[in-house]
Chains A and B, each alone.
Chain A
Amino acid sequence: MKTDRQRVAVLFGGRSVEHEISVISALQLILAIDPAKFDVTPVYIAPNGSWYTGDALLQRSFYAKVPSALATLQEVILLPKPGVGGLLKIGSPESAVRELFTTRVDLIPIDVFLPVFHGQYGEDGCIQGLFEMADVPYTGSDFTSSAVTMNKYLCKRYLGAHGIPVLPAVVVQRGEAQADITGITDGITSQAGFSDFPLFVKPCNLGSSIGISRVKDRTELPAALAKAFKYDTIALVEPCVSQIMEINVSIRKATEIEASVVEIPVSSTGVLSYEEKYLRPGGKKSGPSQGMASLTRIIDPQDLDQDIKERVINLGKRSFELLGCSGVARLDFILDLSNGELYFNELNAFPGSCAFYLWARSHPRVLYTQLIEDMITTALRTHEVKASLDRNIGLKALK
């Protein structure tokens, strides 16, 4: 059946500690996609890395039955080869029989890929690299931007070099810590600005507050590093702004770069834990977690100084542009209340809940359905430009 609707594969799950959050974000996103314009194929990447599709994926209750329920789904793959035109079905007995009689392989045609991942292998350029190899349109930032924004240290260094204010950081390699943690601890605390506690220790390439510790004194530093190294081979040590206010803003690029209203996430402990970000039910209503959309927060705080809001928005737009991002991102800033200094903290190339809750309150308001449509349109346009580039200059050196 020929359809005029764009066939969109929404990819989620993945081999990241933020697997579940990705599922929540994706189910929200799929509900918001305009069915009159887009035909959604949900594609779930299981924790073991296998790809599956099937209508059962649209039910939240399905995920409680993983991995045993995976057997009821269709396994698919995306070949790293241009011109395939979609996802290939694999492993099904029917397709094996059919292949005996025909050379045509089972294909689920896809026009555009919409990755809804948080963290490693999905938000860090890995899957974007696969999309590039397969030469398919995909939404969001490309592989270079994704990779740089996911690496907190590289991102800070790069933005710092372009004049965006960032907090200093010390980077520690897992192998060095394993060999001599005492020496590493001494090395960190002897650096200027790192002898005063508390300090923050973070895995370099993770989001969602997993593996993060707030270290109160020197004796806690080795355990905090060891915790970060459970999840990453690189850890980052940063000074802790004692009088801190976190301010987030979402930036997107449709035709031009736009900013949402800002938000102040509210924490009960001073640091947003993974549980606070994702497991605390939203507001007064209790029920299943709605991901980032359920966090206790103040959106568009009326009593926040207009000047600060503008600085956040301007720094946000500039950082987004410098990093070459696309789609919808969320940028987190730290305001030092003691001196009014504002620092870039991190950029989420695909933020939890796609930051729709910020755009819904922005001026002008952008609804989630529109956000997604714009992301898809941009993806198709970007792919068109890339496809028009000359890749083939013919054989010369080998002749």
Chain B
Amino acid sequence: MEDNLLLDAIERYRNSEMSAEEKVFFEELRKNNPEIDQLVAEHNFFLGELDKMSDLKAYRQSLVEIESKLVNEGVISQKEMRGKAKISYLWGRYRRTIGVAASIAGIVSISTATIVSSYTEKKNVAAITPLVDNKLQKMEHKINQIESKMNVASTIVVVPAKPKFEANFRATGFLADGKGYIITNAHVVNNARNLIVENQKGEQFYAKAVYANKTTDLAILKIVDTSFHKLSGLPYTFSKSATELGEHIFTLGYPREEVVYGEGYLSAKSGYFGDTTSYQVSISVNPGNSGGPVVNKNGEIIGIISSKETNADGVVFAIKSKNIYNALKEVIEKDTIKLPVTNTLKGLDRVQQIKKLEDFVYMVKGN
């Protein structure tokens, strides 16, 4: 208790909240008592460090906000040059590498052809599981039904209960455009007659698939519900550059009726059996995580969770975000989709990032 009094006194002294007498008394105390003097000096230094941290955080926030403002105004170029300028720039830069790569490629292709032809008998047995939760338990349904009945019964209905059909699978998706375009996996929406998406507040909207490609396993849904209002301020951007091995990543998804956070790292730059359109990540996921965003520490989406290897632990595959651009090109012909360009997650700590992100991650259900 006495310690607290002393600490309190030091803080008031620092912030010059002491009366003149008190100040004299305090300085006297320090002079006559070397032990206290040392404690004061130590605490002063410590508080100084905390102050520095506080100032720096505020300043960093200003910098990040100014940067995104200038990017929006076009003062800072978002991406490098386009067209011819870019090609000649890239050529100038990678000329040597390309030369070396081309000659290596020649040698490698000949040798792999030989090796492959001698090993072709060994077939690879498909052993990956898509991460869609097909076993929505009866119990959960019962609870939901009871809950929705109770909602109807009580006079204050906050969330309009909408499930008129029984969903038999559950997965995850996230917004690509505040107008209601949601990205998820193609295997999620295949064979689905009805689709519903639900945000973490529990609001449900009808959606339909406007794009599904089995090869890339990407699908784009559009919310077609009139009760959906356009959202703005998507906090993330989509990464265009390659991600490095060992980079820390995280995901949000709906393996349960509640949003679940998982974190891990990038473990390989290719996916199942050398598939270069996906990454291998080490992250704990379960049926229902399919379609969830894979986000790096700067808040850029680097991929979409798609499947995991059945017979191995912690081997999960995520489709690279680059593929989204191709998918969008096909949808754009019908409607304009604008991917978010301003990243407001950069520099925030994880808890804040999740808070901002979770409003844009949806549960996808259907039958």
A interacts with B: no
By a beta-carbon cutoff of 8 Å, the part of chain B in contact with chain A is: none
